[in-house]
Structure 1
Amino acid sequence: MQHTLKPMAASVSLVALAACETTGAGSTAITETVQTSLGTVRGEIVTEGDVSAYIYKGIPYAAPPIGSLRWKAPQPPAAWAGTRDATEWPNRCPQGESSMGAGGPISEDCLYVNVVTTAETADAGQPVMVFFHGGGLTSGTGNSTTYNHPKLPSQGVVTVSVNSRLGPIGYLAHPELTAEGPGSGNFGTMDLTASLEWVKNNISAFGGDPDNVTIFGESGGGYKVISQMSTPAASDLFDKAIVQSGSALVSSDMARAEAGGKSLQASLGASNLAEMRAASWQDVIAATEGAEFRPSIVVDGSVIPAPVREQFETGTHNKVPLIVGANAGESMLQTSVPDMANVHATSGGDTWTYNFTHLPIGWKEEEGCVAFHGLELTYVFGAVPNGLESRTTQFLARGGGCSIGVPEHDEVDFKVADEASKIWASFAENGDPSVPGLVDWPQYSESNDVYLDIGDPMTVKSGIAASYTAPPERD
């Protein structure tokens, strides 16, 4: 199933530019152009190990939500003349500074996607995997070498990473916003839907199939996946979903959300919505420190027509095949996995569950080190050893009882990364994560409480809830 793009190969659908440039470590990057519905973009080739892919950074999927467009539904982006450079990370959306690190400057002009593909022709029809980054709806970015690594695309999929509005810029509800129209509290949710609309209209130019789209996300990104499963506007924009270490099926009623918005207004010292819009994004973010504001999916009767749990329990959500799981060391998140699996399966949705237990050999030998929050991303994206070296992984390692510094890794890590990315790609391709010769992963149901233990070897076991309360077995 793996596809390796030869760095010097000309593509039928991707018009090669004359220039060829050499980057560090002896790798060669060949810039390539793609015609989207709004204009031409020029990306480059990224090579990691024995796999290469085209990457296109910072493609706009909506107009910059600045000035009068702050706290408005995303608007269509403007077309451009000439060729747009797509070789630099776009802006991150407004957020506080984090020790986890990220790529790109911060600006409200941040509604961009990054695309990675190994497809050689526009009619390749490869499955599409759209990734929503984590960060608890308050931080993070899709601008990551892990999320845009060529390994997962080399399994025959096109990946898209999304930047969307966060925190009070993306999830503010306020009585004046409610009076303006639908969407109060759900601007970030609407951004994600707009990114999926861009995929529907443009991904075929990158060799992707617009009618075979999987959305997946980790942590806060898993909650973003839930938001898209709960908004009717996204009902025909994706076909499968993966929630990795996500949230419970929770949402906020409008009264509580508006109270949080008014608390933010008071902390900002603004007398009305107009003054809030005139404030700098830095001041808006800073005002959260003194406010009772928590970003959430907000039940506004339109974007989110009913509480999330109610939608899932009644089967009125966007019911698509779903993988849901967490990592062995995530005690605070693990109760949501069997709950979501039960609710989705009971409503008639195809469901699979997993517990990620693998650790690199250097951490496996440490007392108290467990598969911590976010560790599976390195393996799902096939980003060994890059993902282990990232500041985000190093930051999260502290919480997992693991030492700081790149752990010793071996061929087993590359094996697990290859297998995990194959499984995710198989699910994206046909809605079944089983891979012949690797693993036969049965569906979860109330009467068949099975899950995949993602480690070495990949093993199907029973009792997903108990697996999170018992310490993982070490090989």
Structure 2
Amino acid sequence: MKVPRLAASLLVGLMLSLLPVVVSPAIAAAEPDSPVAQTTSGPVVGAVEGGITVFRGIPYAAPPVGASRWLPPAPLEPWSEVRAATQFAPACPQDPDPHEMAEGTPTSEDCLYLNTWTQGVGGAAPVMVFIHGGGFIAGSAQDPWYDGAAFAARGVVLVTFQYRLGPLGWMDLSSLGPEYTASGNNGLQDQMAALRWVRENIAAFGGDPANVTVFGESAGAISLSALLGAPAADGLYDRVILESGTAGTVATREWSQRVFERFVELAGVETPAEVLGLSTDELLDTARRIYDSEFADTAFHPVVDGTILPDFPMRRLASPEGPAVPVVIGTNLDEARYWLYYIAELDRLPVRFYQPWLRSLVGERADEVIAAYREERPDLDAAQTGMALAGD
């Protein structure tokens, strides 16, 4: 699934034409020619690759582990020695299915890191920040198809980052206490922390902090729609590009609490609070069972929690209080290819990726819907039919 360099170049050219303005950490001794950037937390050293300056694995928030595991992202502890930023950080915990994550990608709950590609640490180039997709349960900032070299070669500072996924990022624990009121939007708060980091630090990487365009695909675009509806995110971006996402894909508090109740039941714990202490593997195992349940892939999404998201994003966007920023909206014809890439035939599509999800949308008429798609597009084979259905 690696994007060919030519395709990446065409994508970059298209995006730039749409913009009003061309837009495991170790302490290391910096080599004389190594690029060093001073962040608000401390200095980092990157590398020069093919004429592009790359910084990988820069932390933008404190590790969400231990007592911070289910809480909003916290500020970093500062450091004084130069910190190596030459290797990608582990991805956030997720199902290791091969088509959901680049092969061999390590994972860790300590995963709030970002990467930058730039022509150099001097200057003030336009900045683009990408929010990856993956249904809020998969993906990372180190996936090879998100390499930012093609953007940097055209004078853009490109930033990718990771945010918490699945139950760790999007499970509503508000019934367990006031400290968890916004836990259903921990992933969204991670995204806000990353954008705040960009505003405060990107000048040190050759970027213009007053010229930041955020773009996202699929769950990344849905996240951006939610950020447009979150007053606390105002001022963290200047332009937005939504690639195949909708502001309507958010959960109500009632729905998210039903998901948590089902999660508790499937986890087999005696009390809801015991979920807090489940291991990473236990959380992921229970999440897989949720995907097989009536909730399917609607279990983990941004939540209208009354705090981070006071209301549905569409309502805020339609009101005078909505953010006054340029927005480009588009759709991807093959939106579902990411999920169906390895499926040769529709009949082989795993139950957890297909039937429960479809029935959650159209009820018991799922078989009718499949038949209608096949009748409408007889030229498509089974896998292509499934891709069209899932993409719509």
Bin for the TM-score computed over the shorter chain: 0.7 to 0.9
Could you tell me which amino acid in structure 2 is paired with residue 226 of structure 1?
Answer: S
Can you give the 5+ residue segments of structure 2 that lack an aligned partner in the other structure?
Answer: 1-11, 14-28, 347-387
CA distance in 2, matches of 1:267, 1:126: 49
Aligned-partner Cα distance in 2 for 1:82–1:42: 10
56-65 or 96-105, which deviates more: 96-105
**Contact 2:165 2:187 (C-alpha < 8 Å) held by counterparts:** yes
1:57-136 pair list within 5 angstroms:
57-100=56-99, 101-102=101-102, 104-121=105-122, 124-136=123-135
Code of the residue aligned with 1:36 in structure 2: it is T
Structure 1's 112 and 145: CA in aligned 2 closer, same or farther, altered over 3 A?
same
Q: Whole-Å Cα distance in 2 between the matches of residues 90 and 323 of structure 1?
A: 31
Q: Give, in angstroms, the shift of residue 248 of structure 1.
A: 5.0
Alignment of 1:159-178 (within 5 A): 159-177=158-176
> 1:328 Cα shift?
3.2
1:318, 1:296 → 2: CA distance?
22
- Amino acid across the alignment from 1:296: H
- Report the count of equivalent residues: 314
Amino acid at match of 2:188: T
- The answer to whether residue 317 in structure 2 is matched with residue 317 in structure 1 is no
Aligned-partner residue type, residue 34 of structure 1: A
Deviation at 1:189, TM superposition (A): 0.4
Residues 320, 279 of structure 1: alpha-carbon distance in 2 compared, 3 angstrom cutoff:
same
TM-fit CA distance, 1:178: 5.4
Q: Which residue pairs with 1:295 in the alignment?
A: 300
Corresponding position of 2:385: none
Matches of 2:319 and 2:177, distance apart in 1 = 27
Partner of 1:238: 237
The letter for the 2-side match of 1:55 is V
Shift, 1:120, TM fit:
4.8
In the aligned structure 2, how far is the partner of 1:319 from the partner of 1:262? 38
Q: Deviations over 1:117-136 (max 9, x none)?
A: 11351xx2211111111101
- In the alignment, the residues of structure 1 paired with residue 136 and residue 152 of structure 2 have an alpha-carbon distance, to the nearest angstrom, of 26
Deviation at 1:250, TM superposition (A): 2.6
Structure 1 SS opposite 2:259: helix
Which residue pairs with 2:40 in the alignment?
37
Moved more, 290-299 or 73-82: 290-299
When residues 287 and 88 of structure 1 are mapped into structure 2, their CA distance, relative to the original with a 3 A threshold, is same
Map 1:11-410 → 2, pairs under 5 A: 17-18=30-31, 31-47=34-50, 52-100=51-99, 101-102=101-102, 104-121=105-122, 124-177=123-176, 179-180=178-179, 182-247=181-246, 249-291=248-290, 294-330=299-335, 373=337, 396=341
C-alpha contact 2:137 2:166 (8 A) present in aligned 1: yes
* Counterparts of 1:68 and 1:272, CA distance in 2: 19
- What SS does structure 1 have at the residue aligned with 2:240? strand
Equivalent residue letter for 1:110: C
Change (3 A) 1:148 1:244: same
Change (3 A) 1:252 1:328: closer
Whole-Å separation in 1 of the counterparts to 2:188 and 2:308: 8
What stretches of structure 1 of length at least 5 have no aligned partner?
3-15, 20-29, 331-371, 375-391, 402-467, 470-475
3-state DSSP class of the match of 2:150?
coil
2:242 counterpart SS class: strand
Q: Which runs of structure 1 show a deviation greater than 4 angstroms over 4 or more consecutive aligned residues?
A: 397-401
The CA deviation at 1:373 is: 4.3
- Distance in structure 2 (CA, Å) of the matches to 1:321 and 1:71: 34
Q: Deviations over 1:90-138 (max 9, x none)?
A: 01001001213326411100000111111351xx221111111110100
- Shift of the 272–200 alpha-carbon distance from structure 1 to 2, 3 Å rule, reads farther
Give the Cα separation in 2 of the matches to 1:156 and 1:399. 40
In the superposition, the TM-score normalised over structure 1's length comes to: 0.61
Matched-pair contact (CA < 8 Å) for 1:183–1:303: yes
Q: Is the 8 A contact 1:250 1:307 kept in 2?
A: no
SS in 1 for 2:281: helix
Q: Which amino acid aligns with 1:113?
A: L
Aligned match of 2:7: none
1:445-456 map, 5 Å:
none
Please tell me whether the aligned partners of residues 93 and 166 of structure 1 are also in contact (alpha carbons under 8 angstroms). yes
SS for the counterpart of 1:96 is coil
Structure 1 residue 139, shift from structure 2 partner: 0.3
SS at 1:311 equivalent: helix
Write out per-residue CA displacement over residues 41-75 of structure 1, whole angstroms, 9 at most, x where no aligned residue: 1111122xxxx311111111111111211110110
Q: Please, what TM-score do these two structures have when normalized by structure 2? A: 0.74
Question: Contact 2:221/2:244 (CA < 8 Å) preserved in 1?
Answer: yes
Map 1:422-441; keep pairs closer than 5 Å: none
Share of identical aligned residues, percent?
A: 34
Residues 135-181 of structure 1 show CA distances to partners (whole Å, capped at 9, x for unaligned) of 01000001133323311112221111010000111001034345325
1:107 partner letter:
S
More strand by percentage: 1
Post-superposition Cα deviations, 1:174-213, rounded to whole Å, max 9, x if no partner, equal 3434532541310000000010111111111001111211
1:274 Cα deviation after fit = 4.0
Q: Give the whole-Å Cα distance in 1 for the aligned partners of 2:222 and 2:276.
A: 27
| Offset at residue 35 of structure 1 (A) | 1.4
The answer to whether the 8 A contact 1:115-1:148 is kept is: no
When you count helix as a share of all residues, which structure comes out higher? 2
The residue type paired with residue 322 of structure 1 is V
Kindly state the Cα deviation for residue 230 of structure 1 after the two structures are TM-superposed: 1.4
RMSD: 2.7
Taking a change above 3 Å as real, the CA distance of residues 307 and 399 of structure 1, as seen in their structure-2 partners, is farther
